[in-house]
Amino acid sequence: MLEARDFSRERFTLDLIEMDTSTATVELAAEALGIAPAMIAKTMALRLKERDILIVVKGDGRIDNRKFKDYFTEKAKFIKAEDIEEATGHPVGGVCPLGLIKPLDIYLDTSLKAFDFVYPAAGGVNTCVKVGVDYLAEITKGIWVDICSE
Protein backbone atom coordinates (compact mmCIF):
# COMPACT_ATOMS: atom_id res chain seq x y z
CA MET A 1 0.00 0.00 0.00
CA LEU A 2 1.29 3.44 -0.84
CA GLU A 3 1.71 6.11 1.78
CA ALA A 4 -1.45 8.15 2.31
CA ARG A 5 -1.78 10.45 -0.63
CA ASP A 6 -3.32 13.90 -0.40
CA PHE A 7 -5.72 13.99 -3.36
CA SER A 8 -8.35 16.40 -2.02
CA ARG A 9 -6.71 18.18 0.89
CA GLU A 10 -7.87 15.35 3.14
CA ARG A 11 -5.70 12.42 4.02
CA PHE A 12 -6.74 8.94 3.03
CA THR A 13 -5.01 5.80 1.91
CA LEU A 14 -5.53 4.17 -1.46
CA ASP A 15 -3.45 1.78 -3.51
CA LEU A 16 -2.20 3.61 -6.58
CA ILE A 17 -2.02 1.25 -9.54
CA GLU A 18 0.44 2.25 -12.25
CA MET A 19 0.21 0.30 -15.47
CA ASP A 20 2.78 -0.16 -18.23
CA THR A 21 0.06 0.51 -20.78
CA SER A 22 -2.50 3.26 -21.20
CA THR A 23 -5.66 3.15 -19.11
CA ALA A 24 -7.01 6.30 -20.76
CA THR A 25 -10.28 4.71 -21.90
CA VAL A 26 -12.69 2.39 -20.14
CA GLU A 27 -11.83 -0.41 -22.55
CA LEU A 28 -8.05 0.00 -22.12
CA ALA A 29 -8.33 0.21 -18.34
CA ALA A 30 -10.57 -2.84 -18.09
CA GLU A 31 -8.25 -4.84 -20.33
CA ALA A 32 -5.13 -3.79 -18.41
CA LEU A 33 -6.76 -4.70 -15.08
CA GLY A 34 -8.45 -7.86 -16.33
CA ILE A 35 -11.89 -6.76 -15.16
CA ALA A 36 -15.29 -6.02 -16.69
CA PRO A 37 -15.56 -2.53 -18.22
CA ALA A 38 -18.51 -1.76 -15.93
CA MET A 39 -16.15 -1.84 -12.90
CA ILE A 40 -14.23 1.17 -14.19
CA ALA A 41 -15.52 4.32 -12.51
CA LYS A 42 -15.78 6.65 -15.49
CA THR A 43 -15.40 10.30 -14.49
CA MET A 44 -16.97 12.83 -16.83
CA ALA A 45 -16.40 16.59 -16.61
CA LEU A 46 -19.42 18.68 -17.51
CA ARG A 47 -19.98 22.40 -17.76
CA LEU A 48 -23.21 23.85 -16.49
CA LYS A 49 -24.17 27.49 -16.99
CA GLU A 50 -22.82 28.55 -13.60
CA ARG A 51 -20.26 25.87 -12.72
CA ASP A 52 -18.27 22.81 -13.70
CA ILE A 53 -19.11 19.42 -12.18
CA LEU A 54 -17.85 15.85 -12.27
CA ILE A 55 -20.12 12.85 -12.71
CA VAL A 56 -18.82 9.37 -11.95
CA VAL A 57 -20.67 6.41 -13.50
CA LYS A 58 -19.98 2.74 -14.08
CA GLY A 59 -17.69 2.19 -17.04
CA ASP A 60 -20.36 1.10 -19.49
CA GLY A 61 -22.88 3.67 -18.22
CA ARG A 62 -24.31 6.47 -20.33
CA ILE A 63 -25.94 9.66 -19.17
CA ASP A 64 -29.67 9.75 -19.86
CA ASN A 65 -30.25 13.28 -21.18
CA ARG A 66 -33.80 13.45 -19.80
CA LYS A 67 -32.74 12.35 -16.30
CA PHE A 68 -29.82 14.78 -16.40
CA LYS A 69 -32.00 17.72 -17.42
CA ASP A 70 -34.65 16.82 -14.84
CA TYR A 71 -32.03 16.81 -12.07
CA PHE A 72 -29.82 19.75 -13.12
CA THR A 73 -32.52 21.75 -14.97
CA GLU A 74 -30.24 22.21 -17.96
CA LYS A 75 -28.76 20.20 -20.80
CA ALA A 76 -25.58 18.12 -20.33
CA LYS A 77 -22.55 19.74 -21.97
CA PHE A 78 -19.14 18.10 -21.73
CA ILE A 79 -16.11 20.27 -21.06
CA LYS A 80 -14.02 20.51 -24.23
CA ALA A 81 -10.93 18.29 -24.32
CA GLU A 82 -8.61 21.30 -24.52
CA ASP A 83 -10.17 22.72 -21.33
CA ILE A 84 -10.19 19.52 -19.22
CA GLU A 85 -6.80 19.95 -17.57
CA GLU A 86 -7.49 23.58 -16.68
CA ALA A 87 -10.85 22.61 -15.17
CA THR A 88 -9.70 19.54 -13.22
CA GLY A 89 -5.90 19.44 -13.06
CA HIS A 90 -5.95 16.09 -14.84
CA PRO A 91 -5.29 15.23 -18.49
CA VAL A 92 -7.91 13.70 -20.77
CA GLY A 93 -7.88 9.98 -19.96
CA GLY A 94 -6.79 10.58 -16.37
CA VAL A 95 -9.68 12.64 -14.99
CA CYS A 96 -10.69 11.44 -11.55
CA PRO A 97 -12.78 12.77 -8.68
CA LEU A 98 -9.67 13.14 -6.49
CA GLY A 99 -6.77 15.61 -6.50
CA LEU A 100 -8.66 18.37 -8.26
CA ILE A 101 -7.01 21.76 -8.70
CA LYS A 102 -10.19 23.50 -7.56
CA PRO A 103 -13.28 22.35 -5.70
CA LEU A 104 -15.92 20.82 -7.95
CA ASP A 105 -19.21 19.24 -6.99
CA ILE A 106 -18.98 15.51 -7.57
CA TYR A 107 -22.00 13.39 -8.41
CA LEU A 108 -21.94 9.61 -8.19
CA ASP A 109 -24.45 7.74 -10.28
CA THR A 110 -26.31 4.96 -8.50
CA SER A 111 -25.03 2.57 -11.21
CA LEU A 112 -21.81 2.35 -9.16
CA LYS A 113 -23.71 0.69 -6.30
CA ALA A 114 -23.80 -2.56 -8.30
CA PHE A 115 -20.20 -3.11 -7.13
CA ASP A 116 -18.40 -3.31 -3.81
CA PHE A 117 -15.41 -1.49 -5.32
CA VAL A 118 -14.56 0.28 -8.59
CA TYR A 119 -11.49 1.59 -10.38
CA PRO A 120 -11.43 5.32 -11.17
CA ALA A 121 -8.49 6.93 -12.96
CA ALA A 122 -5.90 8.50 -10.67
CA GLY A 123 -4.80 11.63 -12.49
CA GLY A 124 -2.69 10.03 -15.21
CA VAL A 125 -3.30 8.16 -18.44
CA ASN A 126 -1.83 4.96 -16.96
CA THR A 127 -2.92 5.16 -13.31
CA CYS A 128 -5.97 4.17 -11.33
CA VAL A 129 -7.02 3.23 -7.82
CA LYS A 130 -9.17 0.45 -6.45
CA VAL A 131 -11.68 1.96 -4.04
CA GLY A 132 -14.79 0.79 -2.23
CA VAL A 133 -17.91 2.48 -3.54
CA ASP A 134 -18.97 3.72 -0.09
CA TYR A 135 -15.44 4.98 0.60
CA LEU A 136 -15.41 6.78 -2.77
CA ALA A 137 -18.60 8.58 -1.75
CA GLU A 138 -17.06 9.48 1.61
CA ILE A 139 -13.73 10.83 0.35
CA THR A 140 -15.22 12.77 -2.57
CA LYS A 141 -18.22 14.01 -0.61
CA GLY A 142 -20.10 12.75 -3.65
CA ILE A 143 -23.81 13.31 -4.10
CA TRP A 144 -25.72 10.23 -5.22
CA VAL A 145 -27.87 10.74 -8.33
CA ASP A 146 -29.71 8.50 -10.79
CA ILE A 147 -28.92 9.96 -14.19
CA CYS A 148 -27.75 7.00 -16.28
CA SER A 149 -29.74 5.03 -18.83
CA GLU A 150 -30.92 1.61 -17.71
Residue type, 93: G
Domain boundaries, the chain: 5-145
Contacts (Cβ under 8 Å, ≥6 apart) of 119: 17, 29, 33, 35, 39, 40, 41, 128, 129, 130, 131
- The pLDDT assigned to 11 comes to 59
Instruction: Kindly indicate the confidence band of residue 99, based on its pLDDT and cuts at 50, 70 and 90.
Output: confident
Q: How many CA atoms lie within 13 A of 28 on its CB side?
A: 14
Q: In this predicted model, what pLDDT tens digit does every residue of 2-56 receive, in sequence order?
A: 233 344 444 567 878 888 999 999 999 999 999 999 999 999 999 999 999 999 9
| Class for the domain spanning 5-145 | alpha beta
Residue type, 62: R
Q: How high does pLDDT run on average in the chain?
A: 89
Instruction: Kindly indicate the confidence band of residue 145, based on its pLDDT and cuts at 50, 70 and 90.
Output: very high
pLDDT of 1 > 80? The answer is: no
Q: In this predicted model, what pLDDT tens digit does every residue of 109-120 receive, in sequence order?
A: 999 999 999 999
* Strand 127-132 versus strand 117-120 pairing type: antiparallel
